[in-house]
Chains A and B, each alone.
Chain A
Amino acid sequence: MAPFDLQALIGNSGSYFLYLAIGFGFGFILESSGFGDARRLAAQFYFRELRVIKVMFTAIVVAMTLIFWSTALGLLDYDEIWVNPTYLWPGIVGGLIMGLGFIMGGYCPGTSLVSMVTLKLDGMFFALGMVTGILAFGETVGYFNAFWHSGAMGRFTLPEFLHLETGWVVFLVVCMALVMFVGFEWIRGAIYGKAK
């Protein structure tokens, strides 16, 4: 039953190689999907270009469906998959800061790295700013430690929040994604006319 202990199965070098291969594949897909272009990424916020939302949400709903089908069939132990613990208030503030950074800079952390390795100057500066921000956070977090740990809710996911069975939550999220795809296309058509 997954997740497997990779170190035990294929050793340290084997698992590092696998991480490298997955990272390479992820970066390759991001770049091929056009996620290394800040203009394209930022355009989603104006409903001009919807591929980011479509690719990301398709990946999310497909992965989610596969994870919970695998769990249902006993192929995967979902409890052993790391889920970031929820810290509500810093999560909200962090989300706003990241969203602001995304819309201003045109990148999220992963796409800025994709852009950087394709030698785009804006990607390089964005990644440099991100590293500087990480450094500044690390050096100052002690001053707002209480806030950083506020709203701790542990491993808190949508089924607990909605008090619904996991399968029905998966169904609702898939519906939400599909409605969003259609709805955003409609909004884009209404604002910019039919896509060529």
Chain B
Amino acid sequence: MNGFLDMRVAGALILLLASVALALYGQPSLEQKWAFMAERFGPRLAERQVHIDPGELLALMNDHYIDLLIYDVRAETDWNWFHLVDSERVDLDKLAAQRDRLLALAENAVVVVVSNDEIAATEAWKRIMALAKPNAYILEGGLNHWLNIYGVAGEESGAHGETSLATPDGTLRHPFKLALGERHAAARPDERHAPQRDYTPKVKLLKKIARAGGCG
């Protein structure tokens, strides 16, 4: 009986010590979680399998069978100058609050993260993957690239021109005349009249969608 009692006490002590050690050690932060996951998801990022062409994002914006969630992780000032229609601005350090929403996304959901270039979007993508591993992508070249393609000359100070995407520094390189947010023409270009682009589609849905046609 005494031996059994000693074992019970020893077991309880081990459990207590393990829980105290756990409390002191803590749970992984998003950055640590990404470090744990990097071996699995890092290659997708390094091989640019998750960077989608602006043309593909435009196609997604016009595809009503897809539940598209665009996270814009830029500063509020840049957001006020210009942002994509239906995008949502979220601060990088507040992405964790999106966890439940990301976990509840449908199988036809696609998450696209945008920033001025790819710097903040890549960081956001890592955090989003650490949070919920959704079907997430990054806009290739960011909104600077988007505006190089779909920007309208009359909306920018000086003549609209292609800005260099080399040496990205996180800034918006298209100087707008007015801070019109999503009321700029480039916020949702007309797919029929927008420049047509050749790109390799990279978005893979988690579930094949039955696209109804005709009068079905």
Contact = CB atoms under 8 A, between A and B. Distances in A.
Interface of A: 1, 58, 61-62, 65, 68-69, 71-72, 74, 77-80, 154-155, 165-168, 170-171, 173-175, 178, 181
A175 B25 CA distance: 18
Contacts of A171: 16, 19-20, 22-23
Contacts of B133: 80
B15 A62 contact: yes
A167 B23 contact: yes
A61 B18 CA distance: 11
Contacts of A175: 16, 19
Given A72-B22, A80-B133, A171-B19, A1 B27 contact: no
B28 interface: yes
Contacts of B32: 74
A150 B104 CA distance: 18
Nearest to B35: A74
Given A74-B32, A155-B100, A65 B27 contact: no
Contacts of A170: 19, 22-23
Interface in B88-144: 99-100, 103-104, 131-133
Contacts of B193: none
A168 B25 CA distance: 10
Interface residues of B, number: 27
Given A69-B18, A171-B20, A174-B16, A1 B26 contact: no
A86 B16 CA distance: 28
Interface in B128-178: 131-133
10 contacts: A71-B27, A72-B26, A74-B36, A154-B100, A155-B100, A167-B22, A167-B24, A168-B23, A170-B22, A181-B12
Given A79-B103, A154-B100, A174 B19 contact: yes
A31 to B, nearest CB: 21
B205 interface: no
B180 to A, nearest CB: 36
Contacts of B28: 71-72, 74
Contact of A167 (B26, B36, B104, B132): B26
Interface string B35-63: 11100100000000000000000000000
A79 B18 contact: no
Nearest to A78: B27
B27 A79 contact: no
Contact of B27 (A61, A68, A173, A174): A68
Contact of A79 (B16, B20, B132): B132
Nearest to A182: B12
A165 B27 contact: yes
Nearest to A170: B19
Given A154-B100, A178-B12, A65 B40 contact: no
A174 B15 CA distance: 7
B23 A65 contact: no
A62 B132 CA distance: 26
B136 to A, nearest CB: 14
A59 to B, nearest CB: 12
B62 to A, nearest CB: 31
